Amino acid sequence: MRARLLAALLIAATVSALPLGRSSAAAGSGPSVPAALAGLERAGQLNEAHYANYRSQYLAARRSLGRLTGTRAAELRGVLANLEAIAAHGQLTASRVPLLFLTLERNRQWWTTGPLLAYGHRVSFPGSLLVWEYYPGQGIELQWLGTFGEANSYYFSKQWSKLRTVLGEALSLVSRRAGGIAWEYMFRFDGGAPPWTSGLSQGTALQALARAGTHLKDPAYLSAAREALGIFRTAPPEGVRIPTSLGTHYLEYSFAPRERILNGFLQAVIGLYDYSQLTGDTLGEQLFEAGDAEARAEVPHYDTGAWSMYDQHSESDLNYHELVTTFLQNLCERTRHGPPLRATGPIAGDQIYCATAQHFHEYMHQKPVISLLSHTLAPGTRAGVRMSLSKVSSVTMTVRRGSSVVWTNTATVERGTPRLLWITPRGGGSYSVTLRAVDLAGNAASTNGEVTVAPPPRKPGAHA
């Protein structure tokens, strides 16, 4: 999570620094935004009134930008830069126009009249149930996962009018993608350029549409849900399908084919399960079974024995650990009474989801295991005191000589054999070291050890 936040902030800073007018040229050699709109109008994909309206919105945003300064100017400039880059790449299609220009207009409205926001803050607008989220340097962007999460909450709380409203808004903003429809993200994120989509948010959309369609008996929702299966049948970057020897992995980000994020994959599988169960659609069932077969093989690799992995490289933060535990519990409940499937490893069938969910829950209450590995360090150096650590934790190192504290250092480090900095004294000597680890759930453990600061022994035969 820390790496993803840093990446987002670095991207935001880059976008904010681009002067308006350079973004299109830097991103591609295609048309400007007005030229792209004119092309759609000539091709009969936009009528004259819509063309005039969208062109006016773009020019109004440019005028507003000229009157803004500081953060407000940077945010609106970032939104314009994304729109211009999409046009310059020839990706300003008729189906994307409504979402792109709603995003532009909402940002013009917000940054000329609304308050400044903190990273990740979510906002809404009167008369609309869509969820918007703030990404520094790129303004407020439509957060589809949050929007469809709200739709599901309206279903469970039986707020049928709100459910119809939010789904109606969402369906008016779909893009044509991967032979079907998709809810696209129109901002840069974690190295990906817009427009991109996500198996996580699309799986959540499947749930909301299938639930609304079956309960409200509205075939339009079910038809839209079936069209939304397209990205699960299509390889990236258009879709999220990665075939494997066992089944299919569904990507969280269509722009990141090598990134295997467990929580996003599991929610995509859950969405396909709920859709196929509610509709009886054999295609949805086939897509679920392919994802389920792969998920059963992958899930054990995300269990470290002390915590969960977020992806192939890093441990989950607390929110993602809790989230992936919930998703595993959901799959456990959904598949527990289903037909037995193939065994994968030492745990067969549905037990993989149930057992791993139980493990992850237990890890929330288990102390980290920590021990000191360094015992001799050179004097007068920026030494790394190495330790063994069972799971991501905030570790505080306290170094004492006698009763006096001579060094402290605190850092959040991941499992394995991380190091903490100690600038060792030139005079050498023997020191006691205390390591205290507090994991993300607040469980604490400590260990003590001795470290000798001394020059390395001289090689035999060496001269003074």
Q: Please give the Cα distance from 126 to 280 (Å, whole number).
A: 37
- Look at residue 29 in the predicted model and tell me its pLDDT: 78
Q: Please give the Cα distance from 154 to 214 (Å, whole number).
A: 15
Q: Please give the Cα distance from 251 to 239 (Å, whole number).
A: 8
Q: What are phi and psi of 437, to 5 degrees?
A: -110, 130
Tokens of 186: 């129109």
> Which sign does the torsion angle of CA 165, 169, 170, 174 carry?
positive
Q: How many CA atoms lie within 13 A of 344 on its CB side?
A: 20
> Which sign does the torsion angle of CA 91, 96, 97, 99 carry?
negative
Provide the terminal-to-terminal Cα distance of the chain, rounded to the nearest Å: 52
Burial of 450 (0-12, 13-18, 19+ CB in 10 A): exposed
- Decide if 61 contacts 104 (C-beta within 8 A): yes
- Look at residue 109 in the predicted model and tell me its pLDDT: 98
Q: Which residues of the chain have pLDDT under 70?
A: 1-28, 337-349, 457-464
- Look at residue 30 in the predicted model and tell me its pLDDT: 85
DSSP assignments along 169-193, one per residue: HHHTT-EEETTEEE--B-S-BTTBP
Q: Is the N-terminal amide bond of 195 cis, ω within 30° of 0?
A: yes
Tokens of 102: 């709603």
Alpha carbon separation from 16 to 66, 70, 227, 293, 339 (Å, rounded): 14, 10, 36, 44, 53
Count Cβ atoms below 10 Å from residue 49 Cβ, excluding itself: 9
Q: Please give the Cα distance from 397 to 411 (Å, whole number).
A: 9
- Look at residue 9 in the predicted model and tell me its pLDDT: 31
Q: What are phi and psi of 438, to 5 degrees?
A: -120, 115
Q: Please give the Cα distance from 339 to 264 (Å, whole number).
A: 25
350-381 in b/e form (b: 16+ CB < 10 A) is: bbbbbbbbebbeebbebbbbbebebeebeeee
Encoded amino acid at 211, one letter: R
> Which sign does the torsion angle of CA 36, 39, 45, 47 carry?
positive
Q: What are phi and psi of 142, to 5 degrees?
A: -65, 125
Task: Find the DSSP H helices in 238-281.
Answer: 262-279
Left if phi > 0, otherwise alpha if psi is -120 to 50, otherwise beta: which for 407?
beta
- Look at residue 11 in the predicted model and tell me its pLDDT: 31
Q: Please give the Cα distance from 389 to 417 (Å, whole number).
A: 6
Tokens of 313: 């490289």
Encoded amino acid at 29, one letter: S
Long-range pairs, 49-55, Cβ under 8 A, ≥24: 50/97, 54/97, 54/101
Q: How many CA atoms lie within 13 A of 309 on its CB side?
A: 18
- Decide if 98 contacts 170 (C-beta within 8 A): no
Burial of 221 (0-12, 13-18, 19+ CB in 10 A): buried
Alpha carbon separation from 450 to 8, 94, 221 (Å, rounded): 42, 69, 66
